[in-house]
């Protein structure tokens, strides 16, 4: 009897210990899932960020090519760029769902814009809005579609850091860009085109194009997002 009781006790003891051991392990594993998403960037992550930053820049340039050279059509350049860059931006989030990539993209593109003679306000806005987009997407741990889309829309407004100066300080804006090689005739036409309704129209067009681009990108890349665990 005592042996049987002891045997039962021994069975129950290890069984309970084993069950208890698995429970915390499983809980710990579940808790580590989001932690991995927010872990530091690896060398592979940085390579991915570099590739997608280059792709984003290419699509931005292609979207801008038909508008930027013309001093009248240039106001629609931010909308055209937003229309093409959504899938690249959102796929970067899916590939590297961590803090850092969106901020890096914004800072690097801002630096390129500044070095190539663009207005410093655009370069600064690219860096600041890139960091802000990283924070917004991070609220949903880079897995919430609405927040990822909002992050893209916010970053798409970065060119406005340049154009808005036509209303804030037109003479200073013109002097800066002509000093960096832009023709005076181009800037004069821009100034005459920058009427009161143009700024809100540009902003609205950019937001709408970013939404269209982002939603289309989510649809086209649905499998990629599902693999990354990105949900509605």
pLDDT digits (tens, 9 = 90+) for 114-137: 999 899 999 999 999 999 999 999
Phi and psi torsions of 144, nearest 5°: -100, 115
pLDDT score recorded for residue 39: 53
CA dihedral 22, 26, 28, 31 (to 10 degrees): -170
pLDDT score recorded for residue 227: 67
| Distances from the Cα of 163 to the Cα of 68, 77, 191, angstroms | 12, 10, 10
Whether pLDDT at 8 is above 70: no
Cβ count near 118 (within 10 Å): 19
Percent of the chain with pLDDT over 90: 70
Query: Predicted confidence band at 220 (pLDDT cuts at 50, 70, 90)?
Result: confident
Query: Predicted confidence band at 228 (pLDDT cuts at 50, 70, 90)?
Result: low
Cβ count near 69 (within 10 Å): 11
Tell which residue, 80, 81, 128, has the closest CA to residue 105. 128
Phi and psi based region of residue 181 (left: phi greater than 0; alpha: psi -120 to 50; beta: remaining): left
pLDDT score recorded for residue 66: 87
Alpha carbon distance 3, 208 (integer Å)? 78
Whether pLDDT at 206 is above 50: yes
pLDDT score recorded for residue 225: 63
pLDDT score recorded for residue 99: 95
């Amino acid at each position: 009897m005592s042996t049987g009781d002891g045997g039962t006790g021994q069975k129950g003891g290890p069984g309970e210990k084993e069950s208890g051991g698995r429970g915390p392990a499983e809980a710990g594993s579940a808790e580590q899932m989001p932690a991995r998403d927010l872990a530091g960037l690896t060398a592979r992550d940085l390579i991915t960020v570099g590739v997608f930053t280059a792709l984003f820049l290419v699509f931005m340039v292609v979207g801008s090519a038909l508008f930027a050279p013309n001093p009248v059509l240039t106001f629609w350049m931010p909308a055209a760029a937003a229309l093409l860059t959504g899938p690249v931006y959102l796929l970067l989030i899916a590939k590297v769902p961590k803090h850092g990539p969106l901020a890096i993209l914004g800072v690097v593109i801002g630096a390129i814009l500044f070095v190539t003679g663009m207005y410093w306000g655009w370069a600064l806005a690219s860096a600041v809005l890139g960091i802000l987009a990283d924070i917004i997407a991070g609220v949903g741990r880079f897995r919430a579609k609405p927040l990822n889309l909002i992050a893209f829309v916010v970053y798409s407004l970065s060119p406005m850091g340049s154009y808005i100066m036509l209303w804030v300080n037109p003479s200073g804006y013109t002097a800066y860009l002509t000093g960096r090689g832009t023709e005076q005739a181009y800037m004069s036409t821009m100034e005459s085109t920058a009427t009161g309704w143009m700024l809100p129209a540009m902003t609205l067009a950019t937001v709408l194009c970013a939404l269209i681009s982002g939603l289309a990108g989510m649809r086209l890349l649905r499998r990629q997002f599902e693999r990354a665990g990105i949900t509605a």
